[in-house]
A and B are shown apart, each in its own frame.
Chain A
Amino acid sequence: MSFAIGLIAAVVFTLLAPAMQFIARVQGWSLAPVILLAIAAVVSHLLGVLLGVLTLPQFRYWDAASIFGFGVMGYVFAFGAVYKSVSLDILLGLVDRPGRKAPLSDVVERQVPALFQGRTKILIDGGLVEQVGSRFAATEAGQIMAKRIGRLRHAFGIGDTGLYDFPD
């Protein structure tokens, strides 16, 4: 039965998380979507634990937490895969075109630079980059974050190109 409690909490999360994203968009909240996901996860987890404690005399926390964690991470995984994925944006751009075809040059020269500009705007809005005239520079917060990312990448042996490594 503890598994069922975990499942109920995961279902609550899948209802609460999109509702919070929707409300945030309508109300113009400045909270990042990831923060909203974290809040939804904490609230639904606490509700699940409360429900388990109140309804089951032998409530096993880790049984409930395992199915809840799996459900939430499955959701976050799907969310992360579709949220600002460059590859999927290219695919959606193709599908939404009349005739569902596009010249390669158009994707390379128009769509990808547009995605590039969109990401620069995110960095500027997030206070990590500032635009001075026609030039861009990292703010102090941006430099601190970049150094942290660099250290993590170095520790995990990750290069800093951001490109997928295909076996040729």
Chain B
Amino acid sequence: MNFLPGPAQTTAICLSVALPLLLLCYARIAAIGGAGRRFRLGCLSVIALFVITCIAIPGPRNLDDLVSGLFLLATAMMLCYVLFSLLAWGFTLTLLTALVQAGRPLTSEQWAAAYMQGGDLGTFAHNRLKLLIGSGMVTTADDKLAPTARGLAVAHLVKLVRFSTGLG
């Protein structure tokens, strides 16, 4: 068994480790506002660095090595995104942190208000609906919500993924 990574694979492994560190650095730059924007910038940065390094590495190029390096980098970006999105937009985690920040036992209504930092669950609902409407999956007319053709397709896909991943 050959356990030694090729040059592009080594670059991808190093950049995979560097991605969270880069996100930590970008968090210190006030001009890059928004968690989503910072993450996209982090991914673009490591992709650019990967391309530059692959061009700069001396010697013949090996296609297997390059393709494998790209897969490794994509894997790291997806893993980072799963963890980052949980931190940034995780509903359940934010409920827990809101309860702890309140510093005292709360009723269900107080907890919802603490979660929304003075707002209510309506604000949260509108935020999530904005995502569905903005991505063209849901439309509103006469204060009624309805799924678009794209929304229907996504809903069927979600059901298929839930079934095929054993979530029922």
Contact = CB atoms under 8 A, between A and B. Distances in A.
B144 A67 contact: no
Task: Determine the interface band of chain A, counting residues with CB < 8 A from chain B.
Answer: 35 or more
Contacts of A147: 100
Contact of A162 (B84, B90, B155): B90
Interface in A52-80: 52-53, 58-63, 65-67, 69-70, 72-80
Contacts of B123: 163
B152 A82 contact: no
Task: Determine the interface band of chain B, counting residues with CB < 8 A from chain A.
Answer: 35 or more
A57 to B, nearest CB: 9
Interface string B84-107: 111111111111111111001111
Interface in A61-118: 61-63, 65-67, 69-70, 72-84, 86-88, 90-92, 94-95, 100-105, 107-109, 111-113, 115-117
Contacts of B24: 155-156
Contacts of B47: none
A164 B89 contact: yes
Contacts of A161: 94, 116-117
B108 A61 contact: no
Given A157-B27, A165-B36, 11 more contacts: A3-B68, A53-B1, A62-B68, A86-B128, A91-B132, A101-B144, A111-B125, A115-B91, A122-B92, A156-B35, A165-B33
16 contacts: A61-B3, A70-B74, A73-B82, A79-B165, A79-B167, A83-B165, A88-B158, A90-B125, A102-B145, A108-B125, A138-B100, A145-B96, A156-B24, A156-B35, A160-B101, A162-B91
* 5 A-B pairs closest in CB distance: A21-B166, A157-B27, A162-B94, A18-B166, A146-B100
Interface of A: 3, 17-22, 25, 33, 49, 52-53, 58-63, 65-67, 69-70, 72-84, 86-88, 90-92, 94-95, 100-105, 107-109, 111-113, 115-117, 119-120, 122-123, 128-129, 132, 134-138, 142-143, 145-147, 149-150, 152-153, 155-167
